[in-house]
Structures are given as C-alpha cells and as structure tokens.
Amino acid sequence: MIKKYTMGSPIETEAVTAVIEPGDFSDFPFEHDAKNGKFSFGFSMSEDDIIYGLGEANRGINKRGWVYESYCSDDPFHTETKSSLYAAHNFLLVGSGKPFGIFIDFPARIRWDIGYTKSDRLEITLDGADFDIYLVYGGSPREIAREFRSIIGKSYIPPFWAFGYQQSRWSYHNAEAVDRVIEGYNSAGIPLDCVYLDIDYMERYKDFTVDSEAFPDFESYVAEKRAQGIHLIPIIDAGIKKEEGYSVYEEGRDRGYFCKRADGSDFEGGVWPGVCGFPDFLRPEVRRWFGEKYRALTDIGIDGFWNDMNEPAIFYSVEGIENALEKAASLKGENLDLGGFFSLKDTFTGLSNSQSDYSSIYHTVNGEQVNHQRVHNIYGSSMTRAAGEYFAESFGEEKILMFSRASYIGAHRTSGIWFGDNHSWWSHILLNLKMLPGANMCGFLYCGADLGGFNENATRDLVLRFLALGVFTPLMRNHSALGTRDQECFRFEKPEDFRDIIEVRYRLIPYLYETFRKASEENEMIFRPLSFDYPDDPVARECETQLMLGEECMIAPVYEQNAGGRTVYLPEDMTFVRLSGTRETVEKLGKGLHYVSVALSEVPLFIKKGKRIPLCMPAMRTGDLRADKAEWLGE
Ligand code: MIG
C-alpha cells in the first residue's frame, strides 16, 4: 500500500509515474518539525531494524550508524567517511517486524541521520519544505521494494550487446590506441564487445565533435569496428564549451538555453574545455534540443554513450577564479605565514564544486527562476533523460546504450548508471557489491563499478578478483584513470586467467539477460541482501559480503589480497560451482559456514537447491552466443 503526503508546492521531478492522490498531512505518521525553511522528521529504530536503501551510496547494505546526504557530488575519493556520492536516490526501506519504505521526492539536499547522532534515532532533514513523501507499507521488504518500483515505472533495458565485456580508459587518444586494445584482446582470445572513448576523442572537449586528427574519417572507422563486432562508446559531458563558431554553444546562448546568474546573464563555469555554458536541462525544450544533438554521433553509427560530469561538476566559476587570482596577485611579495598561506591555498582548492557557485546558478522551471540549490539533484538525471527519451523515441527501446554518472530516481526508466571514480583498492570490491541491492531497489538495474578500480595503480590479482564480481553486474566495464598503470586484461602476465574469467561472463549472458529482463518487467531486484530471502536467519541478516542473484543463485566474491578463497555462509544447502573458462567443478555444500578456495582464474557461484541455470558456450562477441545450445547447471 502507498500513501502520499504533500507539503507546499513541490517541484515536479517526474520520478513517480503513477497518479496518487495525497492524503491529509495531519495523518503524517512521524514526529516532524518545520523551521528555518527546513523540514525534518524522524522515528525511533528498534534494535533489530535493518535500514536498507539510498541506492548508489557509500558504506554498508545496512545503512545504520552513519549520516548520508542526498547531494549529487563529483567526489573521486570514496573513502568510508564520505556522505555523498554522485546520486540522489531518496528511498529508504526499514526492515523490521513491520517493514516500510519511504520515498522523498524532493530535488534539493536531504540529510539522513541513521543512528549517527543517536544510535536508535533516524532523523531526516530536507533543505526546504516543498515535497512529496511516499510511504510504502504492507508485506516483506522484497514486496515493498517491488511496490515502490511499480509507482516509478519500468527500468531501462539496454541492448543485448551491452551485457558483453567492455574496456575503457581515460583515454584511448586515437584510432591506433583503440586498435591496439582490440588487437590485444583478439590475440589473447579474450571476448570483448565495447571500447570506450573518453574526453580526448573530442575536438578540444567540445561535445558532439570528433577530433579529426585522432580519428580521420570517424564514420568509416566506426563502421569498420562494427564489422569487427565492436561498439565504440563515446563520453558526453554536461558543460558546453564557450567558443564562437561552435554551433552547440551559439545555439544554446542565442536561444537562452543555458543556466543563468541572478542578473539573467549566462552562468559560466570552467570544466575540461575551459569556460562553458551549462544547458538548463530542466526545461523540456532544452532537453529536446540537447537530445537531438546526439544525432551527430548516432548518424555515423554510434549506438552507446556515457554521460559524465553532470552533478554538475564545475572546476571553477568565472567570478570565482577572478577573485582567487586577484587575491593571489594582492599577496605578491608578502611574507605568508601559516594563516596567510593556507587561506590562499584554500581559495584555490575551494574553487571546485563550490557551494557559493551552485547557489549563484538559476534555472527556469515553468517560466519561473529557480535557484540551482532547490533542484541540484535532478540536474544530471535531466541531462540523461534528454538523451534517453530522445533515443527511445527515435530508435525504439533497447537500441542505444546509455548510462550516467549523476542520477535521481526516474532516470532509471531511460538509462543505467555507473558508480563513478572508485579506486584500485581491495575495499572497493565490497563497496561495489554493497551498492547493487540499493541501486536495484531504486530502479537502476543496468549498473556497475569501474572494474579494477579507476584511480591509482591496479595489480593483476585485484583486477582478476574485481572482474570475478563484475561477471555478474549488468555493466561489466574495466575503466581506469589517466596516468595509472595499464589495466587491460591482456597487459598482465598470463592473460589466459583473464580469459577464463571473462568467458564465464559470456557463458552466463543468456541467463543474466533473462534475469535482467524479468527484473525490469516484474519490478524485481536482480541483487538482494541475504536478509530479504532469509529474514529469520541471524547470520544471513547481517551478511554484507554476499548477495542473492535472481531466483537461483547466491554470489560471494573473494575480496582480499593474497587470499586463496574466503569464508562463505550458506543459509541453506546449495551447489557450489567454480567456473573457469569452459570448465566447472561442482560441489554440494550444506547450510552453514564454509571456507571455499577459489583460484584467481575462477568465478565462485552458489546455486540454490532445486534450481538450475543455463550456461552456453563462450564466444568472442555477444552476437555469436548460442543461447539455444545451453547446458544446465544445478539440480
Ligand atoms: O574529472 O573524462 O568519472 O570515468 O574517465 C574526470 C575523464 C572526468 C570522470 C569520470 C571518469 C572519466 C573522467 N571524468
């Protein structure tokens, strides 16, 4: 059952597609308070309440014991003490005797104090008092998650080939670099479906352009790669380079499509290309205009994109950097003491993604000027919506791969997400795993992390273990940052170990794809915490390192260096399968704790009693998979 409570006049986010009449606010069942323009409410948690949700968010599956903020942030250090990442997925699920869900449809900042200030209190504070709150109750956590999904609309389904293995790096600078990657995979016999183009494919970081020195005759090149079964996936950034003669910029400026300053002039901020205008994606006509721009690339055969920097990330504003430079100039020749030096330093480090810059930006919502802070969390999702809606209209469903960095619930109907700039850290294997059920609850099914880790240098064993989890995530993409050690599978010793892992993915694709489709159609989660399926099992309830997958499986990746395996908890008897290339070893294990050894070239998988999954033969490209010729694993 669902109840809706409305206060003030909320900004329409279109997160919810179902029409639900608001109830009487005097029935709002929580203690609440409105003061200083904020609204807060809260309740006591019982000792055994598990708090799930918040989608792509930091820390555990159980979110108790920390304070989170819904505020889309470009933060490349996903350390334990962070409160915000790139997404604002405002859905919480309280699992207890009487489970219920809360969705706060409100696009400004929200603070979720989940037993941080007081261990048994959950306190939610909204930076504003115009909102819709939905309460979902009745049934198990799984039923509540399903019911919530039923009001936000069906999840995006990508093209089938988007389940193939994908290789990315910032950046493959030109056609030769891309060719070397494809060649490396081909000669190692490792399957591959996509290669990514990061910002350097563009002409000086201008969206919808291609650097003709790096890719002379891009159109023929794209066709040549498609003939080899490879999709090239270019990046699109939110900021539009300010440059005379660049048609996207000139159109945006002349039509008044960019975000404004308080005085009505265009807001200008620096990102990769230097000074940029930021399209006001909240306006339907701007979305339409921007969506159509992708045509420049789809017309020449591109059929997949990733949208980046759309929190939006802003390195500096024009005013901000002028002030900073003036301050620096005024200090020339001064003897800078501790305070003086650090204040100067902070002036520059504080330029990026600054709160005062965000507060100086204005959007037009239904003809009215609205400050950016009130709608911050739907900026990126509106960019991705612009693209996704255009694709669905022009090409039909399941044709174009689209995923975004920033997101808000609602964007799940037209795109996927990736989890942003993680690190080549062992702890980030588990962080990846823990985000999956949350993202699924909020409708984001097509998702995944940068396998191998984005920032810093990866080691061979880390990449293998990361990939062995990535075998199960719908988006299976290895991506790494500029200046880090090469991370493509064929660059490491014994590439056959990598082939063994990635072949397992291809063997599982028909099964994973069916599970995905079903989850989208039936509003199910692909990945569930064990506690959803075994609510009365105390060990399963606390498990943060394993997940249920579909109706048949449980996954438990190895996540520590120099470990030849891991301890795994079986909430019931299961078949333990070690998959490696086309080989598999099968072992029956009883309910309880087990230590299982898993080689670096193996993918561990657990199949529930009475369940079977199909495995096909691997192929170098998804297009060559034969789903009809499957063998069955399990009992
Ligand atoms: O400020 O385009 O998360 O995947 O490689 C960095 C360069 C900008 C951030 C993305 C990352 C991408 C990188 N981008």
Has residue 176 been placed in a domain?
A: no
For Cα atoms 337, 339, 342, give the angle at the middle one, nearest 5 degrees: 100
Does the residue 181 lie in any domain? Answer: no
For residue 207 and ligand 1, the question of a CB distance below 6 A is answered with no
Residue 323 has pLDDT above 90, yes or no: yes
List pLDDT tens digits, range 403-439: 999 999 999 999 999 999 999 999 999 999 999 999 9
Query: Atom 1, ligand 1: which residue's CA is nearest?
Result: 309
Last residue of a domain, one of 100, 121, 152: 152
d(CA 144, CA 319): 47
Closest-lying ligand 1 atom to the alpha carbon of residue 313? 1
- Is residue 635 very low, low, confident or very high in pLDDT (cuts 50, 70, 90)? confident
Rounded distance, CA 444 to CA 91, Å? Answer: 12
Q: Pick the residue whose CA is nearest to atom 11 on ligand 1.
A: 421
Q: Please, what is the average pLDDT of the chain?
A: 97
For residue 577, give the 3-state DSSP assignment. Answer: strand
Number of separate domains in the chain: 2
Measured from the Cα of 169, ligand 1's closest atom is 5
Give percent above pLDDT 90 in the chain: 99
Last residue of a domain, one of 120, 136, 152: 152
Collect all residues with Cβ–Cβ distance below 8 Å to 385 and sequence separation of at least 6: 281, 287, 410, 411, 414, 415
Over 90: is that where the pLDDT of 397 sits? yes
- Res 97: pLDDT: 82
Of 152, 172, 201, the residue that ends a domain is 152
Q: How many CB atoms lie within 10 A of CB 220?
A: 12
Q: For 325-353, what is the mean pLDDT?
A: 94
* Residue 396 maps to a domain: no
Among 594, 511, 508, which residue's Cα sits nearest to residue 556? 594
Cα distance between residue 374 and residue 614, in whole Å: 48
Measured at the alpha carbon of residue 483, what is the angle toward residues 478 and 487, in degrees to the nearest 5? Answer: 30
The pick from 74, 276, 309, 422 for probing ligand 1's pocket by mutation, whose C-beta has the most ligand atoms within 8 angstroms, reads 309
Ligand 1 site, residue 550, Cβ cutoff 6 A: no
Domain assignment present for residue 253? The answer is no
Give residue 71's domain range: 2-152
Is the pLDDT at 627 greater than 90, yes or no?
no
Dihedral sign for Cα atoms in the order 289, 237, 110, 52: positive
DSSP 8-state symbol, 32: E
Asked, for residue 83, whether it belongs to a domain, the answer is: yes
Residue located nearest, by CA, to atom 6 of ligand 1: 309
- Is 575 contained in some domain? yes
Q: What angle do CA 471, 162, 445 make, to 5 degrees?
A: 70
As a dihedral over the C-alpha atoms of residue 479, residue 483, residue 489, residue 495, rounded to 10 degrees, the angle is -170
Over pLDDT 70: what percentage of the chain?
A: 100
Structure confidence at residue 87 (pLDDT): 98
CA–CA gap between residue 265 and residue 260 (Å, rounded):
5
CB 501 within 8 A of CB 476: no
421 lines ligand 1 (CB under 6 A): yes
pTM above 0.85, yes or no: yes
Residue 198 alpha carbon, nearest atom of ligand 1: 2
The runs of H, that is alpha helices, within 266-337 are 284-293, 295-298, 318-330
Task: Show the CA angle centred on residue 387, arms to residues 382 and 390, nearest 5°.
Answer: 115
pLDDT of residue 138: 95
First to last CA, the chain: 37
Q: Is residue 475 part of a domain?
A: no
Task: State the distance from the centre of ligand 1 to the C-alpha of 308, rounded, in angstroms.
Answer: 7
| 235 Cβ inside 6 Å of ligand 1 | yes
Q: Which atom of ligand 1 is nearest to the CA of 450?
A: 4
Which is nearest to 577 in space by CA: 532, 524, 511, 623?
511
| Confidence band of 96 (pLDDT split at 50, 70, 90) | confident
Cα–Cα distance measured from residue 210 to residue 213, given in angstroms and rounded to the nearest whole number? 9
- What is the 173 CA–ligand 1 centroid distance (Å)? 14
C-alpha dihedral sign at 219, 223, 225, 226: positive
* pLDDT tens string 529-563: 999 999 999 999 999 999 999 999 999 999 999 99
pLDDT category of residue 394 using cuts at 50, 70 and 90: very high
Q: Can you give the CATH number for the domain in which 604 is found? A: 2.60.40.4040
Residue 390 counted as domain residue: no
Tell which atom from ligand 1 comes closest to the C-alpha of 479.
Answer: 4
Q: Which CATH number covers residue 125?
A: 2.60.40.1760
- Tell me the average pLDDT across 183-203: 98
Q: Which residues contact 591 (CB under 8 A, 6 or more apart)?
A: 570, 571, 572, 573
Nearest residue to 38 (alpha-carbon basis) of 125, 112, 108:
125
Ligand 1 pocket residue status of 420, Cβ below 6 Å: yes
Q: Is 198 in the pocket of ligand 1 (CB under 6 A)?
A: yes
Q: Answer yes or no: is the C-beta of 419 below 6 A from any ligand 1 atom.
A: no
Q: Are 124 and 45 in contact (CB under 8 A)?
A: no
